[in-house]
Amino acid sequence: MAENAEAGPKPRLAPGVRLHFDTTRNAWLLLSPERVIETEGPAHEILRRCDGTRTVGEIIDELAAIYEAERAVIEADVLEMMTELRNKRLVRP
Amino acid sequence: MIPAPFGLLAELTHRCPLACPYCSNPLALEPRADELDTGAWADVFRQAARLGALQVHLSGGEPGARRDLRDITAAAHAAGLYTNLITSGIGMDVGRLRGLKDVGLDHVQLSVQDTQAESADRIAGYAGAHARKLALAGAITEAGLALTVNAVIHRANIERLAEMVALAASLGADRVEIAHAQYYGWALRNRDALMPTRAQVQAAMTTLDRLRAEYEGQLVIDAVIPDYYARRPKPCMGGWARRSLNVTPSGRVLPCHAAETIPALEFWSVRDHSLAEIWLHSPAFNAFRGEDWMREPCRSCTHRHEDFGGCRCQALALAGHATEADPACALSPHHAAMAEMAERASESGVSDYVYRGR
């Protein structure tokens, strides 16, 4: 199902899901019930933008700017990750 | 270098209104008079966070039996821990839940015993429990808290796996745990009444695959596999003393909730030692840390880095010594006997439970 990344919803972390900087392991971690996932690189850049203030299109724009990459490439990666995050109930909507 | 733990299971109390025959608490329940007080728990949480723990599971017994649950939750949150409440739902209500959310509770795990009230209440040993759980689930999601439904699976409810998952979805859960009973303590005592047949377990695995596809995107389904009929052992606890620790109501610190079934292990208490000392130096934590303790077939096995030889408590219970391979492993000389015993238990015809604590 194609998503309207420009005018679509503004994703946020689901209830019970938090991004946490762990000083013991010196790493960003996504905390959710029974799960701890280390996040780095592009995955972290996407997750920290899931704060309910940006559309997926805006997240793509920002990542394309940071990584100085072609927007179409970034778009495919972001959409794939958003699907995965939603399936794992880590991000809404 | 011993890595830091990720999680702390805080058994705030062994008191519980329910009497489930597979309860993970030990056969010798700790009395209320021995329980750590609010301040002692707050100190445990601060120490755990300093040690590197990220998540605390506020469990029991029924944690709601603690009148100071709000202060305990607040202390866990203030220590910087992700806080998860593991509750039977009995003794909790909307007001208490809102209070817990206000002080930083992140997530609630609610147990359900079955989808049919009569059966669920019989398993829990508590009339009316099921209806109260369903009502509380509504309150949890209304309060804006994330909900996981936990269903322990055994012979009396395994055929309603699909209904259980459907119930979790209808209650607004994001996640459901299908947890086949683990046969230690109370469940070991009730093994004849709880053990599903091989055919039931195989059907359940097929159903689970179908349900995972059906609920993708709506509900995460996590399953603890029933290892009596498995060929490979589970990586129990992610390895002994590798990822988490368990503090009992009186402050004894265990590598897992069943560890006290292994005799001669020396457990230390938070009343006498710091949590860091216990994690790094206590005899019980170091007993099966790493691989030096292993015998064959584990010692030279290529799987030992992934499954850590399976479960030490199960090795003791079924193979006679805690350093044996977990008999769930097909490479264990006790494997065939385990499967036979499971089949015998499943056909025992026993349906009466020895209820926990009664």
Contact A91, A11 (CB under 8 A): yes
Please tell me the predicted confidence (pLDDT) of residue B226.
82
What is the distance between the alpha carbons of residues B13 and B88, in angstroms, rounded to a whole number? Answer: 13
Cβ neighbours of A87 in B, within 8 Å: 216-217
Question: What is the distance between the alpha carbons of residues B174 and B222, in angstroms, rounded to a whole number?
Answer: 11
Q: Which residue on chain B is closest to A89 by alpha carbon?
A: B174
B29 three-class SS: coil
Q: How far is it, in rounded angstroms, from Cα B219 to Cα B212? A: 8
Cross-chain Cβ contact B174/A34 below 8 Å: no
Instruction: Indicate the angle between helix axes B129-142 and B117-124, nearest 10 degrees.
Output: 100
**Do the chains contact at B54 and A87, CB–CB below 8 Å?**
no
A31–chain B Cβ distance below 8 A for any pair: yes
Given CA atoms A15, A16, A21, A26 in this order, what sign does their dihedral have?
A: negative
Pairing of strands B175-180, B220-224: parallel
Q: Running along chain B, 358 residues long, what does each successive block of 10 average in pLDDT?
A: 95 98 96 98 98 97 98 98 97 94 97 98 98 96 94 98 98 96 94 97 96 95 88 94 97 96 94 98 97 96 96 94 96 96 96 95
Residue B47: name the closest of B20, B12, B81, B72 by CA: B81
Put simply, whether B222 touches A (Cβ < 8 Å) is yes
Q: What is the pLDDT of residue A4?
A: 61
Interface residue B217 vs chain A (CB under 8 A): yes
Q: Does residue A1 have a pLDDT over 50?
A: no
Q: Are B338 and B311 in contact (CB under 8 A)?
A: no
| Res. A65 pLDDT band, cuts 50 70 90 | very high
Q: Do A24 and B220 touch (CB under 8 A)?
A: no
| Nearby residues of B88 by Cβ (< 8 Å), 6 or more positions away | B16, B17, B18, B62, B64, B110, B111, B124, B129, B133
Q: Do B72 and B12 contact (CB within 8 A), yes or no?
A: yes
- B102 reaches A (C-beta below 8 A): no
Question: What pLDDT is stored for residue B100 in this prediction?
Answer: 97
What is the spatial distance between Cα B67 and Cα B35, in angstroms, rounded to a whole number? 12
- Whether the pLDDT of residue A2 is over 50: the answer is no
DSSP state letters, A19-49: EEEETTTTEEEEEETTEEEEE-HHHHHHHTT
- In chain B, DSSP finds a helix count (H) and a strand count (E) of 14, 9
Closest residue by Cα to residue A42 from A57, A18, A63: A63
pLDDT at B326: 97
- Strand ordering across the sheet containing B146-153: B220-224, B175-180, B146-153, B107-112, B82-87, B55-59, B7-11, B244-247, B253-254
Of B135, B143, B217, give the one whose Cα is nearest residue A15: B143
**A41 contacts chain B (CB < 8 A):** no
Mention every residue, 6+ apart, whose C-beta is less than 8 A from residue B8.
B44, B45, B48, B53, B55, B56, B57, B81, B244, B245, B246, B247
Sign of the CA dihedral running B47, B49, B55, B58: positive
Burial class (CB in 10 A: 0-12, 13-18, 19+), B84: buried
| Residue scoring higher pLDDT (A15 or B1) | A15
Q: How far is CA B191 from the centre of its chain?
A: 17
Mean pLDDT, chain A, whole residue set: 92
Which pLDDT score, from 0 to 100, does residue A7 have? 74
CB contact (8 A) between residue A33 and residue B175: yes
Full DSSP string of B121-183: HHHHT-TTHHHHHHHHHHHHHHTT-EEEEEEEE-TTTGGGHHHHHHHHHHTT-SEEEEEE---
Q: What is the ipTM of this complex?
A: 0.89
Q: What is the pLDDT of residues A29-55, one digit of tens each?
A: 999 988 899 999 999 999 999 999 999
- Which of A14, A17, A22 minimises the CB distance to B54? A22
Per the CB < 8 A criterion, the answer to whether B192 and B345 are in contact is: yes
Q: What is the pLDDT of residue B224?
A: 83
Place of tokens 């399976």: B310
In the A/B pair of chains, how many CB contacts fall below 8 A?
52
CA distances from B254 to A33, B59, B271 (A): 21, 14, 14
Judge: A89–B82 Cβ closer than 8 Å, yes or no: no
Quote the radius of gyration of chain A (alpha carbons, Å).
13
**How confident is the model at residue A5, as a pLDDT?**
64
Residues of B in contact with A25 (CB under 8 A): 4, 52
Q: Which of B54, B148, B217 shows the shortest C-beta gap to A87?
A: B217
How does DSSP assign B311-339, residue by residue? -HHHHHHHHSSTTSPPTTSTTSTTHHHHH
Distance CA B102, CA B120 (A): 31
A33–B109 CB contact, under 8 Å: yes
Neighbours of B293 (CB within 10 A): 16
The answer to whether the CB atoms of B220 and A89 lie below 8 A apart is: yes
Of B282 and A8, which is predicted with more confidence? B282
Identify whether the C-beta of residue B89 lies closer than 8 Å to the C-beta of residue B110. Answer: yes
Closest-approach residue (CA) in chain A for B86: A33
